[in-house]
Structure 1
Amino acid sequence: MLTMYSYPPCGTCRKAKKWLDEHAIPYKEINIAEHPPTRDMLRRLIDQSGVPMDKFFNTSGQHYRVGDFKNKKKNEPEEKWLEWLAADGMLIKRPIVFDEEKATVGFSEETFKEEWAE
């Protein structure tokens, strides 16, 4: 079964849920704002996704802009980035869908077809 970190008001998350539901793919949903992934979980998800850590930031979100993370990232190592992401689920791009072997961040119908269609 898949697990999905999502945020209920997020339109992209709703599209991902709809796609999974339409394809009868079971998943467990976790509210990323209430229960952000731990630092270790984030490291695992980043590794499984094959996506650079920079792409895990919700760059269009208010927390990212208000916190000036665009500039902060320039001066801090990636280990610090993990701390920021683990401390504030709203900084994380969503949804994150994963199983024991792979993970995807964001929603693209093409990517979901490739990774999650059975």
Structure 2
Amino acid sequence: MSDVHQEILADVFSKACPSRDTLEHVTGRWGILAMMALTEGTFRFNALRRRVEGVSEKMLAQTLQALERDGFVHREAQPVIPPKVEYSLTPLGEQTAAKVIDLVRFLEGKLPEVLAAQQRYDAAKG
């Protein structure tokens, strides 16, 4: 079997596994929010930054670059003056965002339980 056709085995628990970095890019605070926003359509950088409240320009740029490198985000720079750059999800990004959205919706649905647990914890510690 050629190297091209060998199955790649990933083990997120292994410190050397590249899946750890990819997981961090997708599940980090800004990665999740950027991918969720991009499910709404194509965005220019500043419009995406406004959509993802609280993210700095630097963090959004780093997040988008990592997601683009991993194949989740497509960056299209149009050769006009001033430059026009748009971001959208790739097919892989769309599939991944769907999974992330499921997790977010689950957590939002469980928020009353989470808030109650936090109150119990804080009351016991305070």
Q: TM-score range by the shorter chain?
A: under 0.3
Larger RCO (CA within 8 A; separation ≥ 6): 1
Q: Choose between structure 1 and 2: higher helix proportion.
A: 2
Bigger radius of gyration, 1 or 2?
Answer: 2
User: TM-score, length-normalised on structure 2?
Assistant: 0.25
User: TM-score, length-normalised on structure 1?
Assistant: 0.26
